[in-house]
């Protein structure tokens, strides 16, 4: 009897897992681009990368959270990684930009949260870094924190994210499948007038192009004219800003990681291509939308030690002529990450009874089938 109950429970767990996986774009037969995704089709396909969430979904007005992205599991301050930040549209509050621009490296995990809790996240990251073994004499920390404004669904003025929440997201970080949709920093976000959230995707280059992995994670909270696989979904539904069905302002944070050995200059070139992926979904980077891309190379041979006895640092870096496949991978993975955030998100009711519907997937899938995309 017990064996039968266990078998039934196992079946239900597997069924639930399959159901959850079907929320993703590819599980509906929709293929974006030509390059193959990694095993998880997530930013965590890049070796060593970890992602963690803390979700605050309390009462009738708190709909927010924190998402942490780590380039490796070690002391990031002591073993910094090459990085670059591209401002697609600078209407936002991205902390830590100037030092990354100046020095070309990242020395903390990347934290995503809501607009008014950036300062809290910075304090938490600073405290986290100072307490790490080996950082006992450190007196300067460049904490990198990005945001989107979830104030329609979330009581953003209440500033409910605590330093403990940020530290918990870092603690929760794992190199496994990334939860998407209404999770972490995507709990209260809106995308194309539907419920947005966290989405991720990856691409693997062919061996002749280096075999490198590119992974993207997006926090989607922006508008425009929704397109999926080139089909004008928003136009067909009459759901776009010209009809004043929703505001296009918001923000989108795009995090691009790769194990390709890149310096900050080529990482900035890579970051710019993520905006092309956003455009392919119909995003327009409106006046009030803070659209930022943070690109990082996780290649071990490119890590930058905090202290060294050598005056000259010699690291390998990919040639300019080898960048094109990485550009394509970034565009495709960004497009799919954004769309995955929509497919995974669920209808949400929040502050003042505001309700944002999930993407009507049945209707959308019928449109895509009619267009020959499925």
Give me the active site residues, please. Answer: 251, 289, 291
For residue 182, the number of C-alpha atoms closer than 13 Å in the C-beta half-sphere is 20
Phi, psi of 360 (to 5 degrees): -75, 85
Tokens 């003042």: give the residue.
352
**Which residue is associated with the tokens 């990198």?**
144
Query: Is the Cβ–Cβ distance between 246 and 62 less than 8 Å?
Result: no
Helix orientation angle between 118-130 and 163-172, rounded to the nearest 10 degrees = 60
Q: Which is it for the CA torsion 176, 177, 180, 182, positive or negative?
A: negative
Nearest alpha-carbon partner for 253 in 89, 45, 50: 89
Q: How far apart are CA 91 and CA 70, in angstroms?
A: 25
Pairing of strands 62-70, 110-114: antiparallel
State the SS3 of 239-301.
CCHHHCCCCCCEEEEEEEEECCCCCHHHHHHHHHHHHHHHHHCCECCCCCEEEEEEEEECCHH
Nearest-angstrom CA–CA distance, 223 and 284: 7
In this structure, what token pair is assigned to residue 57?
């979904």
Largest Cα span, the chain: 70
DSSP class of residue 178? P
| Neighbour-count burial of 29, counting CB atoms closer than 10 A to its CB (0-12 exposed, 13-18 middle, 19+ buried) | exposed
């Amino acid at each position: 009897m017990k064996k039968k109950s266990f078998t039934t429970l196992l079946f239900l767990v597997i069924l639930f897992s399959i159901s959850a996986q079907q929320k993703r774009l590819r599980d509906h037969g929709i293929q974006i681009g030509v390059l193959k995704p990694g095993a998880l089709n997530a930013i965590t396909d890049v070796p060593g990368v970890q992602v963690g969430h803390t979700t605050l979904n309390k009462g009738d007005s708190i709909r927010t959270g924190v998402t942490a992205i780590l380039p490796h599991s070690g002391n990031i301050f002591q073993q910094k990684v090459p990085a670059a930040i591209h401002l697609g549209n600078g209407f936002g509050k991205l902390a830590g930009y100037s030092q990354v621009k100046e020095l070309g490296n990242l020395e903390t995990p990347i934290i995503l949260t809501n607009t008014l809790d950036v300062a809290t996240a910075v304090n938490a990251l600073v405290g986290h870094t100072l307490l790490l073994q080996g950082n006992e004499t450190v007196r300067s920390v460049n904490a990198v924190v990005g945001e989107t404004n979830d104030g329609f669904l979330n009581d953003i003025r209440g500033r409910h994210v605590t330093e403990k929440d940020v530290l918990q997201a870092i603690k929760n970080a794992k190199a496994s499948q990334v939860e998407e949709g209404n999770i972490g920093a995507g709990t209260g976000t809106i995308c194309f007038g539907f419920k947005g959230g966290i989405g991720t995707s990856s691409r693997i280059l062919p061996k002749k192009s280096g075999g490198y992995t590119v992974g993207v994670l997006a926090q989607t909270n922006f508008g425009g004219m929704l397109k999926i696989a080139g089909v004008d979904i928003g136009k067909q539904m009459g759901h776009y800003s010209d009809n004043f069905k929703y505001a296009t302002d918001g923000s989108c944070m795009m995090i691009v990681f790769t194990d390709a050995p890149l310096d900050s200059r080529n990482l900035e070139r890579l970051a710019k291509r993520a905006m092309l992926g956003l455009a392919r979904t119909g995003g327009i980077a409106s006046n009030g939308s803070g659209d930022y891309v943070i690109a990082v190379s996780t290649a071990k041979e490119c890590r930058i030690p905090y202290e060294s006895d050598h005056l000259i640092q010699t690291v390998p870096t990919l040639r300019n002529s080898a960048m094109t496949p990485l550009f394509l991978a970034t565009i495709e993975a960004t497009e799919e990450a954004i769309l995955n955030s929509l497919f995974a998100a669920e209808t949400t009711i929040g502050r003042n009874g505001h309700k944002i519907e999930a993407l009507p997937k049945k209707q959308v899938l019928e449109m895509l089938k009619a267009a020959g995309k499925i």
